[in-house]
Structure 1
């Protein structure tokens, strides 16, 4: 009986090995020892608009040959409560949404960010050569913004993402991308839902009693300190203007020309005081 029991035990072990992928014996064993010197792989959230309608947005983000994707898609025209959020890629997987990008010295944000696409038409293609302020930008729906705010609140808490790392595509790819565009309500997102970074308006008014520097070096240094990718050349070159325009898209959308002015400087200084120093 003892021999038979051993036989059954061996047969059971073999069967379990087959069921659990072969039970390959490795020449080492893993022991878990915790180190505090680590951080979450996900360090930022990047917002986009799709420039397409619902169906076209879903098609291109899920088509195998498109080369683009996002973790989440927020449709237009929500008729239910709560509004749907389409998860296209798991959070721990790399979605192809950021492309060539950089923030706070970290390049290639596909590897470290969550991408949220919001269905919005952007602006008419025929107006692409007009100044940003003259284009007819599509408005975001209130229900979309409510949904975006709820989603970001959850993700930021889950992955410990600070406000200054909730970004637009234009922030991480200045000159190459404009989304989510000047109609995206960054201020409302912060003031109504507590999401993202925004300068304190009283402090902005106080700093505006002073003067803004005219030299490019001061602007470049401050923009880089906040997080933008920019060579510090001391010159008002096209790259500097593109980065300043990206800053204005996010924090001063009624003036998006890439030219230095007192209010842009005041907003930048207040943001640095609140979030970066």
Structure 2
């Protein structure tokens, strides 16, 4: 190759370098040098589930054609190189079918805007004392924490949008249930939690178990983000309150409107704002 061609090649290469932001495709070019400001991540919500089955059955179910989730964490994750192994079943760029018919803070079709994490856990069993939920293994929660922190950071997910499956589908779901450590995770910067001092302020000396008007509590829950409809039956209203209590007042999740639940809802609204 003579010097003339070498010089031409060098000029072409310089031209390529100077065309930063121009991407060659098969049959066309993309100019990415001017990016719109009104661009937002697809992912706004992180949903936590339990599988209600063992790992092998859960993995088979979540890789079948009916349902899916982005991640599956075993009850006791195997360690590799000192790190717990987590199964990614769906790329984050793709939609997974984990939320189903759902609603949160004014939005429906939560599958479209969320990442789902399934935790291997037996869920609940009926006993003489009622529903008894299965505890989560510390190793599983320890594996969950860095994954969730990474997702929250990458998509800038607001604390109030880290939710339980029961939060977004209270009429159908209980997971991850009252034994999931929401409070401990909030202390690590994961998810929402009310400030105890503000709960006490709104409680104003009342017993937390003092009965309050159901409609007043449901109004606060609707403002915070739960799906509350005027035509709901008493049983449906109870399911919404129960979902809220399992998340934010897990020591008593009987679905009864009381002063403690009302104070927690008021403190959450003060801290995180209302939906919309």
The one of 219, 222, 246 equivalent to 1:221 is: 219
> Aligned partners of 1:206, 1:134: CA distance in 2, in Å?
33
Structure 1 length-normalised TM: 0.82
Could you list the per-position Cα deviations for residues 153-180 of structure 1 after superposition, in whole angstroms to 9, with x for gaps in the alignment? 1000000001100000000001200000
User: Does 1:76 find its partner at 2:71?
Assistant: no
SS of residue paired to 1:219: helix
SS of residue paired to 2:133: coil
**Structure 2 segments unaligned to the other structure (5+ residues):** 6-24
Shift in Å at residue 146 of structure 1? 1.3
Shift in Å at residue 24 of structure 1? 3.8
Partner of 1:253: 250
SS of residue paired to 1:136: strand
**After the TM superposition, which residues 1-277 of structure 1 pair with which residues of structure 2 at under 5 Å, given as runs?**
23-24=26-27, 33-64=34-65, 67-80=66-79, 81-124=82-125, 127=126, 134-191=130-187, 193-209=188-204, 214-232=212-230, 237-276=234-273
Change (3 A) 1:117 1:31: closer
Structure 2 length-normalised TM: 0.82
> Aligned partners of 2:194, 2:218: CA distance in 1, in Å?
19
Shift in Å at residue 236 of structure 1? 7.2
Change (3 A) 1:257 1:33: same
Change (3 A) 1:236 1:259: farther
> Aligned partners of 2:267, 2:241: CA distance in 1, in Å?
16
Change (3 A) 1:140 1:25: closer
Kept in 2: contact 1:98–1:169 (CA 8 A): yes
Partner of 2:8: none
Once superposed, what is the RMSD of the aligned Cα atoms?
A: 2.7
Moved runs in structure 1, 4+ residues, more than 4 A?
29-32, 210-213
> Aligned partners of 2:233, 2:63: CA distance in 1, in Å?
41
Kept in 2: contact 1:217–1:232 (CA 8 A): no
**Going by fraction, where is strand more abundant, 1 or 2?**
2
Could you list the per-position Cα deviations for residues 164-217 of structure 1 after superposition, in whole angstroms to 9, with x for gaps in the alignment? 0000000000120000011111111112x2211111112212221256884444
> Aligned partners of 2:26, 2:178: CA distance in 1, in Å?
57
> Aligned partners of 2:243, 2:147: CA distance in 1, in Å?
24
> Aligned partners of 2:26, 2:85: CA distance in 1, in Å?
42
Kept in 2: contact 1:220–1:232 (CA 8 A): no
Kept in 2: contact 1:70–1:88 (CA 8 A): yes
> Aligned partners of 1:25, 1:92: CA distance in 2, in Å?
24
Give the paired residue count. 250
SS of residue paired to 2:62: helix
> Aligned partners of 2:262, 2:213: CA distance in 1, in Å?
12
SS of residue paired to 2:84: coil
Kept in 1: contact 2:212–2:259 (CA 8 A): no
